[in-house]
Chains A and B, each alone.
Chain A
Amino acid sequence: EAGVVQSPRYKIIEKKQPVAFWCNPISGHNTLYWYLQNLGQGPELLIRYENEEAVDDSQLPKDRFSAERLKGVDSTLKIQPAELGDSAVYLCASSLGDTVMNEQYFGPGTRLTVT
């Protein structure tokens, strides 16, 4: 069974440019998460989807970040315009979402460098 797939793995852009990250969760997983991981830190939740509905986007900086999960499967996270401080790893995770245990499976992440 394929795990969580993310692309691209690495992205280098200049500040003020737009950037998009893509995530394909594990088949059958209804819940999808985007996390931000700064260097030397643990992941921090940006947004959580239940199917196609964003049920927790309280930590998403909505002035420049947006996300969508059309048809409740793949998801895209966008930053426009990017700032130097956005350099980080963006992790996508998925889970079945129907148990209290809520085991989350993580993708390898997209490492973004903003110059």
Chain B
Amino acid sequence: GEDVEQSLFLSVREGDSSVINCTYTDSSSTYLYWYKQEPGAGLQLLTYIFSNMDMKQDQRLTVLLNKKDKHLSLRIADTQTGDSAIYFCAAGGSQGNLIFGKGTKLSVKP
């Protein structure tokens, strides 16, 4: 079945850019998603990209998709302490559900 892999931790300084990487196995995934989870809260959809796109930019967020390598990345420009959270990559499964990675914990140091 579909598998989604992410690095578990990332630490950056406030004002720097953060890049969170993800790989997935199912090349038929139509949409790929980035969710943010703050402590004690549910998941919040940050952004998504359609599989026929290479890049999508939304304010401070840039998503890059390399479909050949099945690699997805999320870049957060000018990272703030409020961006500290766990970021999940998710791929659309064949049954309409989402397959999530284990999440990358982003720590932003002042």
Contact across chains for B48 and A101 when beta carbons are under 8 A apart: yes
Residue among B4, B31, B96 with most chain A CB within 10 A? B96
Contact across chains for B102 and A40 when beta carbons are under 8 A apart: yes
Interface residues on A, range: 20 to 34
Q: How far is the CA of A107 from the CA of B44 in the complex (A)?
A: 9
Contact across chains for B96 and A42 when beta carbons are under 8 A apart: no
Residues of B within 8 A of A (CB): 4, 30-31, 35, 40-45, 48, 50, 88, 90, 92-93, 95-98, 100-103
Could you list some 27 contacts between A and B, CB below 8 A?
Answer: A4-B42, A40-B103, A42-B4, A42-B90, A42-B102, A43-B43, A43-B98, A43-B100, A45-B93, A48-B95, A48-B96, A48-B97, A55-B96, A56-B96, A56-B97, A91-B42, A91-B43, A93-B42, A101-B50, A102-B98, A104-B45, A104-B98, A105-B45, A106-B35, A108-B40, A108-B41, A109-B42
